[in-house]
Structure 1
Amino acid sequence: MTFDPALMPLFWLKKLVSAFMLPPLAPLLLIGLGLLLIQRWRRTGLALAWAGLAAALLLVWPATVGWMLAGLETDPPLTATSARPAEAIVIVGGGKRRHAPEYGGETVNRLTLERLRYGARLAHGLRLPVLVSGGAPTGERPEGELMKAALETDFGIIPRWVEASSLDTGQNAEFSAPLLKAAGVRRVLLVTHAAHMRRARAEFEARGIEVIAAPTAWLGRHDANDQVLTALPSATSAYAGWYAAHEWLGLLALRLSR
């Protein structure tokens, strides 16, 4: 599957819409709109401003963020028994770092690296072929190629397949499925973040690929001993809140598209 420039306007439109619907911009827009309206429509303006403030707090407060993640991170860790029927490992990309001079230009970002690390661990232990999936939204070096380079150089794993044209999770599945089916593979271990697994699995199963979930990098389920630290908002809870909101928005878009 080759890169299709015609897909770029839709990709950037989706990115723009999601930016306006997700934190931190969405709550700030509500607050700003409320303040603009407060002189003429005081009650409406106050309601919008307070709603924006409440949303901003809820999306960083560990208790509410944990509740949001609980509905996403539903798959248990992979076990040796559940992994046994798998025929291949699929690692879904999570983005790239464009400015990485220490790596000679571009490299995978931390999300992708977390997935690659776990995928490599599974590949070493299970001796299954690996597919990596990720394109190039900006038309530069595809994420799939960067994933392949990281696996080979840093983890000693050579992927059998590199899907390098996809721009989102749906296309990860759409473009990966033909590569797998051509090799007779129908059942895979799908490696991605625990919070992303529901959406990724739905996309792959819709293309006729049976998924055995291999989640990694849980954002919720903190150790009970950390209750004092995790009870207050932090940069960690703010990021987890954004990720959870992003995934719920993605699931809503997936349901509306079918």
Structure 2
Amino acid sequence: MLFAIYKIAGAFVAPPGIFITLIIIACLWALRRPRKPLLFIYLCILALFFYFISIPFTTRLLLAPLENTTKPSLPEGNAVVVVLGGGQRRSIDPAKLDPSPHSLVRLIGALELSIEFNWPIIVCGGSYSGEIPEAVAMANKARRLFPNITIYEEAQSRTTWENIKNTIPILKSLGVKDAILVTHGYHMFRAIMTAKEMAPEINWYPYPVGESRDLVPLSLMDFLPKASDFQINSIALREYLGIVAYKTRLLLRLT
């Protein structure tokens, strides 16, 4: 019982729970005379939205359709592993360059395939404002760990669409028809949809990594706000918006 109280209290006095607490206080303040019923309703809706986007239970709901849609698949012959970047610690100093945890998860998945099947890797990711490209950060990390692996860098792209677009010429120059696409499970549906649309002549094989939702029975912890779940839920919502945008773009091209 004390443990539950400790967890509940901690969840609502640290971010993101503290923001929910402050909004609730503002809700109560709106009921003071002169009452502001519209402001009260607005703040209640805002608190509920902030709460639901911050809890692991919502993570399960949002990620299940994304992570369950695409299963891993591999070709039987020669292939190239294409790993999409997931961010980095931005730096102009090579000594302080490091892939983000998201990028590392994807890179590890690609390295596992490369080591097991002796497939080369293409790492994707450019820069936004003059820092060292993300592809360079991933390639440097991979080469330090496994210097004998063949790695190609696609260091100009800033979006998933550009990742695929800039990777296609590299695949064609290598004369490869089979490409394994490595990215997080929540991102795979949009990534593989983009790849198949842009380069149908290439056989794209999805290899999702890094499932982010919990797979244990529900408990109190699934209903307490957490910063990590606020982040992943925000990413999931952005993925849904991205899927809608990509499908709308495809529909407009067909009409």
TM-score by length of 1: 0.75
RMSD (Å) for aligned C-alpha atoms: 3.0
Match of 1:64 among 58, 67, 83: 58
Aligned-residue offset at 1:257? 2.7
Q: Secondary structure at the match of 2:188?
A: helix
Distance 1:141 1:206 in 2: 30
**2:248 equivalent to 1:248:** no
Q: Which of residues 225, 230, 233 in structure 2 aligns to 1:233?
A: 225
Greater Cα radius of gyration, structure 1 or 2:
2
Give SS of 1:121's match. Answer: helix
**Which stretch shows the higher mean deviation, 229-238 or 103-112?**
229-238
State the 1:137 CA deviation: 1.1
Cα separation, partners in 2 of 1:85 and 1:66, compared to 1, 3 Å: farther
> CA-to-partner distance for each residue in 1:218-239, whole Å, 9 max, x for gaps?
0114233x74543433233223
Length-normalised TM-score, structure 2: 0.76
Equivalent AA in structure 2 for residue 217 of structure 1: G
Once the two structures are aligned, what percentage of the paired residues are identical? 26
How far did 1:185 drift?
2.0
Alignment of 1:158 onto 2:149: yes
Per-residue deviation at 1:77?
5.6
For structure 1, which runs of at least 5 residues remain unmatched after alignment?
1-23
After the TM superposition, which of the residue ranges 198-207 and 236-245 deviates more from structure 2? 236-245
1:206 alignment partner, one of 197, 213, 228: 197
Q: 1:94 aligns to what?
A: 86
1:190 to 181, 200, 203: 181
Deviation at 1:187, TM superposition (A): 2.2
- After superposition, the Cα gap between the structure-2 partners of 1:41 and 1:213, relative to the gap in structure 1 and judged at 3 Å, is farther
CA distance 1:168–1:40, shift in 2 (3 Å): farther
Deviations 1:76-97 (A, max 9, x none): 6636xx4425611101011111
Equivalent pairs, count: 224
CA positional deviation for 1:40? 10
Structure 1 47/230 Cα, relative in aligned 2: closer, same or farther at 3 Å? closer
Alpha-carbon separation, structure 2, partners of 1:216 and 1:100: 29
Report the AA paired with residue 44 of structure 2.
W
Cα 1:40–1:166, aligned 2, differ >3 Å: closer, same or farther? farther
Q: Name the aligned partner's letter for residue 234 of structure 2.
A: W
Specify whether residues 154 and 228 from structure 1 end up closer, same or farther in structure 2 by C-alpha distance, changes over 3 A only: farther
Match of 1:220 in 2: 213
1:73 counterpart = 2:64: no
Q: Tell whether the 8 Å contact from 2:75 to 2:178 is kept in structure 1 after alignment.
A: no
The farther-off stretch of 131-140 and 149-158 is 149-158
Say whether the 8 Å CA contact 1:77–1:214 is kept in structure 2.
Answer: yes
CA distance in 1, matches of 2:70, 2:160: 21
- Name the CA shift for 1:178/1:86 in 2 (closer, same or farther; >3 Å): same
CA distance in 2, matches of 1:51, 1:157: 55
**CA 1:40–1:97 in structure 2 vs 1: closer, same or farther (change >3 Å)?**
farther
Regions of 4+ moved over 6 Å: 38-41
Match of 1:177 in 2: 168
Segments of 5+ residues of structure 2 without an aligned counterpart are: 1-15, 251-255
- Quote the residue 1:106 is aligned against: 97
1:44–1:177 Cα change, 3 Å:
farther
